Amino acid sequence: MLFTQLWDLFIAFARASNLGFGGGPAVIPLIKIEVVERYHWLTNAQFTDALAVGNALPGPIATKLPAYVSYQVAGWLGVLVSLIGTILPTVLAVILLTGFLMKYSNSPILKGMLKGVRPVVVVLIAQTAFDMGIGTFPNLITWGIAAVTVVSLYWLKLHPALIIVLSMAFGLLVFR
């Protein structure tokens, strides 16, 4: 039972990480598909909470999400296998295939492939935002929070982590 869970965690995060081109943020939609839709480890709302915690903290997002999810599924062993699945394949590739990658990273073929995949990544992230939005806006106040967030990000240039903390304080005052 534990073994199959560990295997599922390993394979889910290995798949999500190693298909996402564009660094951690490109991996978020693929993680959501594994965690919410395929394995049902978290609900849509719980996944949004995980992202809130992840975004409130510094560091790579593609390792915070696996740690958050897999600890709840299978404890520290789960954290370990999901992180190995997330980083090991590309860590090995970067070290063992350096010479090959050095040549191939400037090839027009690879650049063409990355250019082709970028719109897909954008659509996947936008879809993730849309999916997470379902159920997130039960009333006008939540729309107001979203509007204030946009203003804070683009005009006031507030730090995202600060917006996350402030919104939680606001929720504590208003929604309780």
Partner 1 sequence: MLKKLWELFIAFTRASNLGFGGGPALIPLIKAEAVDRYQWLDNEEFADALAIGNALPGPIATKMAAYIGYKEAGWLGVLVALLGTIAPTVLIVVILGSLIVKYSNSPELKAMLKAVRPVVVVLVAQTAYDMGKKSFPNYSSWGIAIVTVALLYFVNIHPAFIIIAAMLFGWAAYGRIRKEKVQDSQK
Binding to partner 1, residues 53-72 (CB under 8 A): 53-55, 57-64, 67-68, 71-72
- Out of 29, 35, 41, 81, the only residue in the binding site for partner 1 (CB under 8 A) is 29
DSSP assignments along the chain, one per residue: -HHHHHHHHHHHHHHHHTT--SSHHHHHHHHHIIIIIIS-SS-HHHHHHHHHHHHHS-S-HHHHHHHHHHHHHHHHHHHHHHHHHHHHHHHHHHHHTHHHHHHHTT-HHHHHHHHHHHHHHHHHHHHHHHHHHTTT-SSHHHHHHHHHHHHHHHTS---HHHHHHHHHHHHHHHT-
Task: Decide: is 174 part of the binding site for partner 1 (CB under 8 A).
Answer: yes
Which is it for the CA torsion 162, 171, 72, 90, positive or negative?
negative
Please say which residue, 2 or 150, places its beta carbon nearer to partner 1.
150
Task: Decide: is 108 part of the binding site for partner 1 (CB under 8 A).
Answer: yes
Residue 36 CB, shortest distance to partner 1, in Å, is 13
Residue 131 CB, shortest distance to partner 1, in Å, is 9
| Total residues binding partner 1 (CB under 8 A) | 101
Distance between CA atoms of 170 and 40, rounded to whole angstroms?
Answer: 30
Task: Decide: is 156 part of the binding site for partner 1 (CB under 8 A).
Answer: no
Site for partner 1 in 113-142 (CB under 8 A): 113-129, 132-133, 136-138, 142
Residue 6 CB, shortest distance to partner 1, in Å, is 16
Residue 156 CB, shortest distance to partner 1, in Å, is 13
Residue 73 CB, shortest distance to partner 1, in Å, is 11
- Out of 2, 7, 23, 156, the only residue in the binding site for partner 1 (CB under 8 A) is 23
